[in-house]
């Protein structure tokens, strides 16, 4: 799970991450007195929304910088630096919630096991993250630009996990999480910043993807990415990212007597 986040850039230019996540809270339907775990809480905006419903919420993130910012934003809430694959909670939570995080976790099986372990029997798991085909136009533009710079097999630099419904549902079921609802859908997302929007997005989210590009190549690389992406992703005076999201609701099966 990525840990080298820039909280200032995240909050100032990428608020859409938690703004879209508010819609997911309707599926979570937090209730007063419930204990809820927010996996990948970022700077804490959705954690705070869950708390406003009266739930007792814990926000975790693998990034110490993000957790520091979350604590500064919402000092009254509990935040911890914990990786999704290394959670030690055991049957403590009525629900586990996660928004726009699990595509960063390549060890998806370990994360699903930890999530299932954290839930009480009958507890629910509500999540949304990048699904199969997410960012495909952006990725193609990045790959072709990297190849033009002489970087071989650029696809190997993609560390994101974008599963199909069947792939992820099967993974959850192996860990005792019965899938009640799953959907894969397109969500074209406008970026702030005008002409700089795509560059800001790559700076925020694409550090690993573009790590093989040398510093002296960066300007030319960005120009080539934008040239390739513009016919598909530039409209109405702004850049749009071709998001495709996987939304899942599952429940931990109760142990039979």
Distance CA 67, CA 121 (A): 29
Q: What is the CATH number of the domain that holds 98?
A: 3.40.50.150
Domain count for the chain: 1
Is 29 part of any domain? yes
Please say whether the beta carbons of 172 and 229 come within 8 A.
no
Distance CA 200, CA 180 (A): 37
User: pLDDT in tens for each of the 257 residues of the chain?
Assistant: 444 545 555 444 444 555 666 789 999 999 999 999 999 999 999 999 999 999 999 999 999 999 999 999 999 999 999 999 999 999 999 999 999 999 999 999 999 999 999 999 999 999 999 999 999 999 999 999 999 999 999 999 999 999 999 999 999 999 999 999 999 999 999 998 899 999 999 998 999 999 999 999 999 999 999 999 999 999 999 999 999 999 999 999 986 54
Is 243 part of any domain? yes
Is 1 part of any domain? no
State phi, psi for 38 to the nearest 5 degrees. -100, 105
Is 84 part of any domain? yes
- Residue-number span of the structural domain to which 96 is assigned: 7-252
Is 112 part of any domain? yes
Is 257 part of any domain? no
Is 160 part of any domain? yes
Bridge partners of 79, per DSSP, are: 59
Is 2 part of any domain? no
């Amino acid at each position: 799970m990525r840990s080298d986040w820039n909280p200032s850039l995240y909050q100032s230019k990428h608020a859409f991450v938690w703004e879209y996540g508010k819609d997911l809270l309707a599926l979570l339907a937090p209730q007063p007195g419930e204990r809820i775990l927010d996996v990948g809480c970022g700077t804490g905006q959705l954690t705070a929304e869950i708390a406003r419903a009266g739930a007792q919420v814990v926000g975790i993130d693998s990034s110490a910088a993000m957790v520091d910012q979350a604590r500064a934003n919402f000092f009254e809430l509990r935040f911890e630096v914990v990786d999704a694959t290394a959670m030690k909670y055991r049957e403590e939570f009525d629900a586990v919630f996660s928004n726009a995080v699990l595509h960063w976790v390549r060890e998806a099986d370990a994360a699903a096991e930890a999530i299932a372990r954290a839930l009480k029997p009958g507890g629910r798991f509500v999540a949304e993250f990048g699904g199969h085909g997410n960012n495909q136009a952006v990725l193609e533009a990045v790959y072709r630009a990297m190849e033009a710079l002489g970087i071989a097999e650029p696809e190997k630099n993609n560390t994101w996990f974008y599963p199909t419904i069947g792939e992820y549902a099967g993974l959850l079921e192996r860990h005792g999480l019965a899938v009640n609802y799953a959907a894969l859908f397109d969500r074209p997302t406008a970026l702030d910043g005008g002409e700089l929007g795509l560059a800001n997005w790559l700076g925020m989210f694409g550090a690993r993807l573009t790590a093989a590009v040398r510093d002296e190549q960066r300007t030319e690389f960005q120009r080539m990415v934008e040239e390739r992406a513009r016919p598909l992703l530039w409209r109405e005076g702004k850049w749009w990212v071709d998001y495709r999201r996987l939304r899942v609701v599952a429940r931990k099966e109760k142990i039979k007597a």
